[in-house]
Structure 1
Amino acid sequence: MNKTVLITGVGKRIGYALAKHFLARGDYVIGTYRSHYDSIEQLRKLGATLVQCDLTDTASIAHLIEQVQVNASTRLDCIIHNASDWLPDNSGLSASETINRMMQVHVNAPYEINLALADLLTATAQLNHESIGASNIIHITDYVAEKGSKKHIAYAASKAALHNLTLSFAAKLAPHVKVNSIAPAMILFNDSDDDAYKVKALAKAVLPKEAGNSEIIALVEYLQSSHYVTGRSYAVDGGRHLV
């Protein structure tokens, strides 16, 4: 049976790859984006429903929730909270502006969305006649949620808080909805990354390679298919904790 999946931040990288994966499988994808890229039009041509949403704006989040409820109609199988804002502590904003923005994007917005759509996720599980772990919420956090970061303190703290939401929602929404975290480190290099940066980044892991989007897609597939995993965080970091 085809699924309905909500993915935040589908404009590029992991979010874009996930959206294309689900669309190719015949699933219905509702995706959000903040800035318009060519990829947005590509996803729209593939059949995705796309909603421009600024997760720092409460009215925009409310509009997104309304659009999901209208377009998802009677089913929502999975929410993937992928949208992220990587704001350094020396960005020029005040300390309070920095932490507030990080918490708004990575914690407040997923919290509101999960609460608003929880009934739809649960109803979908029951509609599938699979009341045990049939629907899913997946939070994309970061390996720094556990390690911390000297230059991105607010970012790391907000990602740690996002995983804490995983624990709370996993308990609250069981047994119908499973809730898990994926904590990636360096998955893909940017086009602007020079060779020196790449060497330095790869040296941080015992598996010195570029993981690629396929690692995240495979893990998302596993979490969706499992009926016995919830409230857990899965590191995708090449073994950085071993260096």
Structure 2
Amino acid sequence: MLYKEETPKETVLITGAGQRVGLHCAQRLVADGYQVVITCRRLRPEWEVNPLKGIEVMLADFSSEQGINAFIRVLQERAHSLRAIIHNASTWIDDDLVDGPAFQRLCMVHMQAPYMINMACASLFSADTVADIIHITDHDALNGADDHIAYLATKAGLENLTRSFAMRLAPSIKVNSIAPALIMFNDGDSEEQQAKLLARSALGLEPGPEVVYQAVKYVMNNSYITGTCVDLNGGGTLKFA
């Protein structure tokens, strides 16, 4: 009996995907037939009871140059042939708590890690197939806001990296960003806070992480899009027009 050789699965790397939107996208990519590698800072206890299926977990700390370089070395040693990198790793520090070291951590996670990984790992993409780098930024980083200034400034830096890398890596690798507004409420958000967030968009809903995955697949499936931001704002720009 002749057996058909199984086609190797394409690999997608998602940084900072241990929970919420990142983990949802990782699980949806697995369901769509991809091999998925995620990074997180620590293993979650629930994974011992319910192991992640089809997902390889790599521990990584992107808050220092040493941690970024250590991750890059391990990734290159494992020689994954990548279909896509999704830079989802993020950190949140309230402006009242932002000092010099805290601002540096924001810069490291949101800008320096994606920059260094993109520069070092472009060679890991297959030359025979389409490839993508996707930066997850923030809708408010597109225009600024009077709160969370340090966080949004570094996310805006990631938006700029999108255009620069799109020019540098074309035509072999497409580079785009996805800029979400409200996707999921945080645990502990009061009804007042939820109502305030909902009022910022024309659609007035908490869409859930699937809309981010839909944007990811749109970018990956479209062969004629690079250097572009997919702004997931639920009509927020209409509210403030």
- Does TM, normalized by the shorter one, top 0.5? yes
Cα gap change, 1:144 to 1:211, in 2 (>3 Å): same
Residue 82 (structure 1) aligned with residue 82 (structure 2): no
1:156-235 maps to which residues of 2 (within 5 A)?
Answer: 156-235=152-231
Which of 27, 33, 43 pairs up with 1:26?
A: 33
Which of 7, 17, 21 pairs up with 1:14?
A: 21
Residue in structure 1 matched with residue 103 of structure 2 by the alignment: 99
Aligned-partner residue type, residue 94 of structure 2: P
Residue 118 (structure 1) aligned with residue 125 (structure 2): no
Give how far 1:35 is off: 3.4
Give how far 1:58 is off: 1.9
RMSD over equivalenced CA pairs, Å: 1.7
Provide the secondary structure at the position in 1 that maps to 2:95: coil
Give how far 1:72 is off: 4.1
Residue in structure 2 matched with residue 152 of structure 1 by the alignment: 148
Residue in structure 1 matched with residue 67 of structure 2 by the alignment: 60
Q: Distance in 2 between matches of 1:203 and 1:190?
A: 16
Q: Distance in 1 between matches of 2:124 and 2:70?
A: 17
The answer to whether the 8 Å contact 2:65/2:108 transfers is no
Cα displacement string for residues 60-96 of structure 1 (whole angstroms, at most 9, x for unaligned residues): 21221122223344x11100000101111102x42x2
Provide the secondary structure at the position in 2 that maps to 1:99: helix
Flag structure 1 segments of 5+ consecutive residues without an equivalent.
Answer: 129-133
Cα gap change, 1:205 to 1:39, in 2 (>3 Å): farther
The answer to whether the 8 Å contact 1:44/1:50 transfers is no
The answer to whether the 8 Å contact 1:30/1:68 transfers is no
Give how far 1:39 is off: 5.5
Provide the secondary structure at the position in 2 that maps to 1:183: strand
Q: Distance in 2 between matches of 1:241 and 1:205?
A: 8
Q: Distance in 1 between matches of 2:204 and 2:176?
A: 26
Cα gap change, 1:241 to 1:53, in 2 (>3 Å): same
Cα gap change, 1:135 to 1:214, in 2 (>3 Å): same
Flag structure 2 segments of 5+ consecutive residues without an equivalent.
Answer: 1-6
Cα displacement string for residues 166-218 of structure 1 (whole angstroms, at most 9, x for unaligned residues): 00100000001000000001101123112111111101111100111111111
The answer to whether the 8 Å contact 1:4/1:72 transfers is no
Residue in structure 2 matched with residue 131 of structure 1 by the alignment: none
Give how far 1:20 is off: 0.6
Give how far 1:44 is off: 4.8
Cα displacement string for residues 76-126 of structure 1 (whole angstroms, at most 9, x for unaligned residues): 1100000101111102x42x22322211110001000000101112xx1x2
Aligned-partner residue type, residue 18 of structure 1: C
Cα gap change, 1:174 to 1:42, in 2 (>3 Å): farther
Calculate percent identity across the aligned residue pairs.
41
